[in-house]
Amino acid sequence: MVSAQGLRYEYPMLRAHSLGLAVALSAALALRAAPSAAEGAHEAAPATETDLGGYLEGASVLEGRLLAPCCWNQTLDIHGSELSTSLRREIRTRLRAGETVEAIEADMVVRYGERIRAVPTGNPIAGFATALALGFGAAGVGAAWMLARWRRRRRDELAQRGRVAGGERDRYDDEIDRELDHL
């Protein structure tokens, strides 16, 4: 670059940034082209019975009800251990083979004990949740009833005030009318 006085100076950092940008752009284009060239060479692997992807009725429900037997802290559907993955594969394979969710769960309980269930049978949490839901429903009905009652009372109060204000004329009304006529 040339300054106004004709002296020549350069920005070495600008040149380094330009070079780095050019290298990064070239690498990105090369990597982008590589997968498209390899697409024709390899076909997608066929889905197997033990594939974990996709929806399978009952699988996610069962995986959410069973704990991972390696640590007993998380359910199978979110735990990432090798044992959890193999149990998820086993569940999906058995469901595809036609076994019921209840039969698979019962077999897991026999193999690992009652502890494998995230919520053991007979746990009062389910009953408590039902009672809580019913309680909130009753509270909503009660609140709606109270709101309707308040609105009805308010409407009745306003109607009562209107009757007093718009009732029969008295001597003061006549007197006010005479005074207004004089003005």
Count of other CB atoms within 10 angstroms of residue 169: 9
CB 106 within 8 A of CB 52: no
Confidence tier at 148 by pLDDT (50, 70, 90): very high
Confidence tier at 136 by pLDDT (50, 70, 90): very high
Whose structure tokens read 């735990």?
Answer: 79
Q: Report pLDDT for 31.
A: 59
Tens of pLDDT, residues 35-45: 444 443 333 33
CA distance 99 to 113: 20
Q: What percent of the chain has pLDDT over 90?
A: 17
CA distance 70 to 107: 17
Confidence tier at 19 by pLDDT (50, 70, 90): low
Partners of 67 in the beta sheet? 75
Q: For the whole model, what pTM was predicted?
A: 0.44
Whose structure tokens read 């969710």?
Answer: 101
Alpha carbon of residue 147 to chain centroid: 32
Q: Work out the average pLDDT over 35-63.
A: 56
Confidence tier at 6 by pLDDT (50, 70, 90): low
Residue 73, pLDDT > 70, answer yes
| Residue 9 CB partners (closer than 8 Å, separation 6+) | 1, 3
| Residue 10 CB partners (closer than 8 Å, separation 6+) | 1
Q: Work out the average pLDDT over 32-61.
A: 53
Residue 171, pLDDT > 90, answer no
